A and B are shown apart, each in its own frame.
Chain A
Amino acid sequence: MTALLEIKDLHANVGNKEILKGLNLTIKAGEVHAIMGPNGCGKSTLSAVITGNPAYTVTAGEILFKGEDLLKMTPDERANKGVFLAFQHPIELPGVGLAQFLKAALNAKRKANGEEPIDAVQFMKYMNVRATALGISNEMLKRPVNVGFSGGEKKRLETFQMAMLEPDFCILDEMDSGLDVDALKVVGQGVSVMREPKRSFMIITHHDDLLQYVTPDQVSIMRDGQIIKTGGPELVEQVEASGYDNF
C-alpha cells in the first residue's frame, strides 16, 4: 500500500500558541486510521490544518497528499483533491438548501476534474440512493444546511455529505461526541459501506464509541501535539482499560 497522506514534522499555531509540535503521521491508501488522545492534545487542530482552516497557522513541516504539497492549496482546492472533513460542530448555512449545496459542491469537484456538471435528473437519482441508505428524508434535503437539526442529525448529515462527495480521504472529527447509539450506528455504517482499497479514513476520537462500529487498521496515540505511538486495534483496548497516562 502506498501513502495517501504523509505529515512530516508539522508545527502549527493558533494565534501565538503552538498546538502541533513536530507531528509525524503516514496514512496509507485504504487504511482506517484512528487518532486517539486526551482533550486538548491537538487532535482537532490536526484536522483543521490538513483542511486549510485559516484560523490556524503552519509554522514548519509539510503535508503531502497523493504526493502533492497540500499546504500550498486553498481549502476548496484541497477538498476537490479529495480531502473531506466531517465537522465536530457542523456550521449552519441559513437559506442554503442541502440538496442545492451538495449539487454545487459536486459540480465544483467535477469542474476541478475537468468534467461536465451533473444534470438535475442524474443528480436526484445519485442523491436519493445515498439519502435512502442513510435514512435522510426528502424533507431534510430541502432544509437549509444544518439549520435547526439536532446534534445527532447533524452528524448523520455530515456522513451523508461524505457519501455524496465520495472523497479519497475522510476525516471524522470527534463524530462520536454526544451521539446516541442509533446515530453512532449510522455513522459507523456510513464508514463501513464506503471502505474500499483506495479510500482512507482518519477517525479522530477520545473514546472507543465509534470504533466499536468501525474497526481501525491503525491507531495512533496523540499527546501534546505529537503522535507518540502507532499500532494496531489493540491500542484502543489499552486506552479504554487504562487511559492515556500509560503512553
Chain B
Amino acid sequence: MKKEQSDLLNVVNSPYKEGFETVVETEYAPKGLNENVIRYISHKKDEPEWLLDFRLKSFRHWQTMTEPHWFHGTYDPIDYQDIYYYSAPHKKAPKSLDEVDPEVLKTYEKLGIPLKEQKALSGVAVDAIFDSTSIGTTYKEELKKRGILFCSFNEAVHEYPELVKEYLGSVVPYTDNFFACLNSAVFSDGSFVYIPKGVQCPMELSSYFRINARQAGQFERTLIIADEESSVSYLEGCTAPQRDENQLHAAIVEIIVKDRANVKYSTVQNWYPGDKNGKGGVYNLVTKRGLVMNDAKLSWTQVETGSAITWKYPSCILKGDNAMGEFYSVALTNNYQQADTGTKMIHLGKNTTSTIISKGISAGFSSNTYRGLVQMGANATNAKNVSKCDSLLIGDKCGAHTIPVMKCANETATIEHEATTSKISEEQLFYAMQRGLSAEEAVGLIVNGFCHEIMQKLPLEFAIEAQKLIGVQLEGSVG
C-alpha cells in the first residue's frame, strides 16, 4: 500500500502517457458501413457462412434501430458512415509473433505488456488486440494442457466453431440494443475463453485492447464460458493514442457462468479521454453481461478513468438458484469527460444475491452518473440486493448523479440502497497542505481513500496500475 502511494504521487504530473501513435502499414476496409463492408470483414476473417449470416442479420436489424439518447449528458452525433469498421496492421493474420510487425510488438512493450514468451508477464496470459485483430496470445499452449481454451475470437471461430455457435449472442442477443447490434454486425476480433468442467484456471487471463488507426472504430467481442465448477479471473485493459477526433469503441462481453462456477472480470479502462477542453477522446459504448447459473458467481470490478463518453453497464442475469452477482466500480471523470455507468442485477432464481458498490469521482467540468437496475423476478424468493453508491466531487463545476431503478415482483425479496455525496473541501485541502502535502498529493490521498474498498478487489498489478491512473487523471483538477 505504501509503495503504491508514492508511485501514485510520482505520476500525478505526467500527461496521458499512452497517447503515442504507432506507425505501421495498416489495411482498412472501405470507409462507412453497408453489406459489402460486412462481407469484406467476414471475408478478411475467412469466416464460415453461418457467421456471415449472423452479421448480416444483425446489420439488417440495426438499420431499423435508432441511436438511444437517454445517456445523461451530450455528445456530438456519431456519423456511422465516417468510420473505418476494419483496420489491421497486417496484410495477413499472423501465425506467430515472429510474423507480427515489430512496431506493433514495441507498442505493447511500451505499454508494459511484452508479448514474447520469455518476457511475458508472469502469472498473466495476455491476448493483445491491436485495432481489429488479435496479434498474439501468451501462454496459450500451457493453458491448453489443462483444457483451457484462450485465444482470439477469430481463432475460436475456426478452431472451436461449435462452442462459438452455441454461445454467441446467447447472453447479449443481436437485438439487445443499438450499439450491441452494431457490434454484432461488424465485430472484428476479441478474446475467447473456455474453462472446462472442474478446472480452476491457474493464472490470470487478460486481454489488452489498443485502438491505433485513425478514424477507426474498435468493435471487439469477448466470449467467456466457465463450465460447471470451474473458475477464472479475467482482466481487461485498454488505451488509445491522443487524437483530436473522437473514436468509437462499441464492444460486447458475454459471459456464461455455469453451475457452481466462479468468474471474476476486472477492467481498467483508460481510453484516451480527450484533451483539457474536451476535444477528441473515445466514445466507449459497451454491453457487458453475464448469465449466472445455480450456485455460481460472477463478479465485475471496473476502474473507469478514460474515454470522453462512457456508456457501460456490466450486468448479471442471476438465473440459477443461489446465484451471486457483484459489481464494484470506480469511475473517475475530469475535464469534460462524461460517464454514465452502472449495472443491472436481474434476479430470476431463488436465494439469489447481489452486491453493488459504486464510487464516482468527478472533477473539472465533468459529469458522472451512476445508473443501475435491480430487478427481482416473481420467482426470486428470498433474493437479496445491497447497493451503495458514493460520489465525490472535486471543485464546483462538475456533477454527480445517481439513478437507481428498483423493480420487485416477489414479496420475500429485499433491496437495500444507500447513496452519499461528498466534496473535497477547501478545509480538507488546507489541513493536508498544512502537514506538508501538495494540493495534488492531498487530493490523491483523499481520492484513493475514497475508492480503496474497490481497489482491494482488483488483482495486485492491476490495483497499482489503477491507482497510478487515477493520479494521472486528476492532474490539474486542483489549484
Binding site for B on A (CB under 8 A): 51-55, 74-76, 79-80, 84-85, 87, 90-97, 100-109, 112, 117, 120, 144, 161, 165
Contact = CB atoms under 8 A, between A and B. Distances in A.
B449 A161 contact: no
B446 A95 contact: yes
Interface string B423-454: 00111101111111111010001101110100
Contact of B431 (A90, A94, A97): A90
A20 B365 CA distance: 37
Nearest to B425: A91
Nearest to A53: B430
B422 interface: yes
A93 B427 CA distance: 10
A183 B435 CA distance: 22
Contacts of A79: 433-436
B449 A96 contact: yes
A140 B152 CA distance: 51
B445 A161 contact: no
Given A87-B431, A108-B441, A144-B449, A100 B436 contact: no
Contacts of A53: 430
Nearest to B438: A76
A94 B430 contact: no
Given A76-B434, A92-B428, 14 more contacts: A55-B426, A74-B433, A75-B434, A76-B438, A79-B433, A79-B434, A79-B436, A95-B449, A100-B1, A101-B432, A103-B2, A104-B445, A108-B441, A112-B436
Given A55-B426, A95-B450, A100-B445, A107 B6 contact: yes
Interface in B350-378: none
B449 A94 contact: yes
Nearest to B435: A105
Given A53-B430, A101-B445, A117-B6, A94 B436 contact: no
List 7 tightest A-B contacts by C-beta distance, closest first: A95-B449, A91-B431, A105-B435, A108-B436, A75-B433, A79-B436, A96-B449
Given A94-B422, A104-B441, A120-B2, A51 B434 contact: yes
A165 to B, nearest CB: 7
B437 A76 contact: yes
B414 interface: no
Nearest to A48: B430
Contacts of B448: 95-96
Nearest to A117: B6
Contacts of B6: 107, 117
A108 B428 contact: no
B379 interface: no
Interface in B1-33: 1-2, 5-6, 9
Interface in B366-425: 422, 425
Contact of A95 (B425, B437, B452): B452
Contacts of A75: 430, 433-434
Contacts of A91: 425, 427-428, 430-431
5 contacts: A96-B446, A104-B441, A105-B432, A108-B438, A120-B2
Contacts of B434: 51, 75-76, 79, 84-85, 87
B2 A100 contact: yes
Contacts of A120: 2
Contacts of A87: 431, 434
Interface in B42-60: none
Contacts of B445: 93, 96, 100-101, 104
A93 B431 contact: yes
A93 B428 contact: yes
B140 to A, nearest CB: 39
A82 B265 CA distance: 48
